[in-house]
Chains A and B, each alone.
Chain A
């Protein structure tokens, strides 16, 4: 027993991996463990040592925080669906039909990512603002059309999220689609498949790993969305990240903030686990 432990510790793989393992334990697992611990402490506690309690979890359900949870998950799901629907044709074009233009189009899609998300969202606020906004002002000036407020609705939040998270779906999907061998598409056509059948029988299943990775990435990021709702949504919708931030700062209720975090992490983790079981990431990365 002792000697097998010593063998294991002298394994070069274990030795090489140990700095990273130590780093991950301190920097990643540690904070999560602390948050997990705090979630079982009484209201407004700022150190360990009090009584253990499940009050915070009860409060999550009794005080309407579950609505925040549903809004976040609902908007994240809607965002994921929208980005998939928009990305597929674009990714298809980038892989198959745009030819030498695809590099330029790709660049145009990438460059905005270098600008801060908040700045870009403020751009949208200026564009959609009531009265003096770019859109409302132009419509009024050019056509004399009066528009009401276009900001501060769930639809605008969704639009903002789709806008921000689109690249995270598009790029993995592009990779997935470019892995579909042209020969197999030709073979399907030669064997009598029409366009729709080629899509359903060959392209979609073969591009699925890329689509799933992109969807997962987008969904997980969108769960944590906060600026979209704050900037474009005003106070219409309170998102999970907003609620957690609120509890940790303004409300000074760390245990409740921790409980909301733990619930979010658990639900997201379970979802990711089930999706990841279906994808062979190695295969996705090795083949291209």
Chain B
């Protein structure tokens, strides 16, 4: 994966120091410290209840932190109300004003600042071009817009007052798969053309991978790993992070002699990928696409015997479920390397140590 990102300087635009939000005994955001670089696309990924929405609401000024500080370009903004922060948010529900037209939605922040109607309209037309909305939508009621159009209106509205940072609260979660893929690309392109800092939250690591410069994985109010999409993909820190990646194979292992791994479940000794000295027990993660069918047990560094349970065509790839003992392994092959044989065949699947990752629990 290439890292063709356009880093503009590296001074932090947003700095969170020991930021905490408590509801009773529960810390929704727990002592979080983070720097977000000017101009980057930073995505926070976490399951629901991980505190990511609370974090974003504090950054936008809609919630007050219980403890800790938020600095914007070095100035503390804890007590600055939402309407005076140079940030804008795209809400999960989009929160478009249903009683207004597309044009009046987009112009809203300008009207609030007392910009005259002529300049407002001019700016609105520019923004509609930026987000690819046709000009005649200016007078269209937002209630008559499609999902994708509403999305674009919401983004244009947030951009109107030229904010320093744009926050996104899972705006794509309610949109169907194909349109979502399209809008992900559009958002990333928009990030490039506007050069603004985007802070995005989502529960989908896949979505985060497509768009982000850096990703933070959030769990129970804490950021447990921060890194580029490549870092997260190739070096997940623990099973929680690797589990976010979708379907994976995991084997419980512990360190054996000669730097090998013991896998008690299959009574096997496996070759270990590189990992710091600190590792003693945990899980070996092998992605489905790193697994392959072997003619001969020695064709890969590690192998496991099983029987082919079922196969699923995924378009460019084919996925297989292979039963071995109590476990179901997932193997993915390119279509041209598809397995030639029948269901219930006895098969040997294997992988090379370099294609696997060791994680702690």
Query: Which residues on A are within 8 Å of B, measured CB to CB?
Result: 181, 183-184, 186-194, 197, 201-202, 205-206
List residues of chain B with CB within 8 A of the CB of A192: 83-84, 109, 112-113, 161
| Interface contacts beyond A184-B98, A187-B96, A192-B109: sample of 19 additional A-B pairs, CB < 8 Å, sorted by A | A181-B95, A188-B97, A188-B108, A188-B112, A189-B62, A189-B81, A189-B83, A190-B60, A190-B61, A190-B83, A190-B85, A190-B88, A190-B89, A191-B83, A191-B88, A191-B109, A192-B161, A193-B108, A194-B112
A193 touching B62 by the CB < 8 A rule? Answer: no
Q: Shortest Cβ distance from B83 into chain A, in angstroms?
A: 5
Q: Which one of B91, B98, B111 lies within 8 Å of A206 (CB-CB)?
A: B98
Query: Which residues on B are within 8 Å of A, measured CB to CB?
Result: 60-62, 81-85, 87-89, 91-93, 95-99, 108-109, 111-113, 157-158, 160-161
| Measured CA separation A189–B82 after assembly (Å) | 6
Q: Shortest Cβ distance from B21 into chain A, in angstroms?
A: 16
Provide a sorted-by-A list of 18 A–B residue pairs whose CB atoms are within 8 angstroms.
A181-B95, A183-B92, A183-B95, A184-B96, A184-B97, A186-B95, A188-B97, A188-B108, A189-B62, A189-B83, A191-B83, A192-B84, A192-B113, A194-B83, A197-B112, A201-B111, A205-B99, A206-B99
B91 touching A191 by the CB < 8 A rule? Answer: no
Closest 3 CB pairs of A and B: A187-B95, A183-B95, A191-B109
Do A191 and B108 contact each other (CB < 8 Å), given the known contacts A181-B93, A183-B91, A186-B62? yes
Q: Shortest Cβ distance from A155 into chain B, in angstroms?
A: 37
Q: Shortest Cβ distance from B293 into chain A, in angstroms?
A: 51
List residues of chain B with CB within 8 A of the CB of A189: 62, 81-83
Q: Which one of A187, A194, A201, A202 lies within 8 Å of B91 (CB-CB)?
A: A187
Do A190 and B161 contact each other (CB < 8 Å), given the known contacts A183-B95, A202-B97? no
| Measured CA separation A205–B158 after assembly (Å) | 21
Task: Please give me the residue from chain B that is nearest to A187 by CB atom.
Answer: B95
List residues of chain B with CB within 8 A of the CB of A205: 99
Interface centre among B61, B83, B87, B113 (most CB of A within 10 A): B83
| Measured CA separation A138–B62 after assembly (Å) | 50
List residues of chain A with CB within 8 A of the CB of B111: 201
B95 touching A193 by the CB < 8 A rule? Answer: no
Q: Shortest Cβ distance from A211 into chain B, in angstroms?
A: 13
B62 touching A190 by the CB < 8 A rule? Answer: yes
List residues of chain B with CB within 8 A of the CB of A201: 97, 108, 111-112
List residues of chain B with CB within 8 A of the CB of A186: 62, 82, 91, 95
List residues of chain B with CB within 8 A of the CB of A206: 98-99
Q: Shortest Cβ distance from B106 into chain A, in angstroms?
A: 10
Task: Please give me the residue from chain A that is nearest to B85 by CB atom.
Answer: A190
| Measured CA separation A183–B60 after assembly (Å) | 13
List residues of chain B with CB within 8 A of the CB of A191: 83, 88, 108-109, 112, 157-158, 160-161
Interface centre among B60, B82, B96 (most CB of A within 10 A): B82
| Measured CA separation A189–B111 after assembly (Å) | 13
Q: Shortest Cβ distance from B167 into chain A, in angstroms?
A: 9
Q: Shortest Cβ distance from B154 into chain A, in angstroms?
A: 9
Q: Shortest Cβ distance from B110 into chain A, in angstroms?
A: 9
List residues of chain B with CB within 8 A of the CB of A188: 97, 108, 112
Task: Please give me the residue from chain B that is nearest to A197 by CB atom.
Answer: B112
B83 touching A187 by the CB < 8 A rule? Answer: no
List residues of chain B with CB within 8 A of the CB of A197: 112
Task: Please give me the residue from chain B that is nearest to A204 by CB atom.
Answer: B99
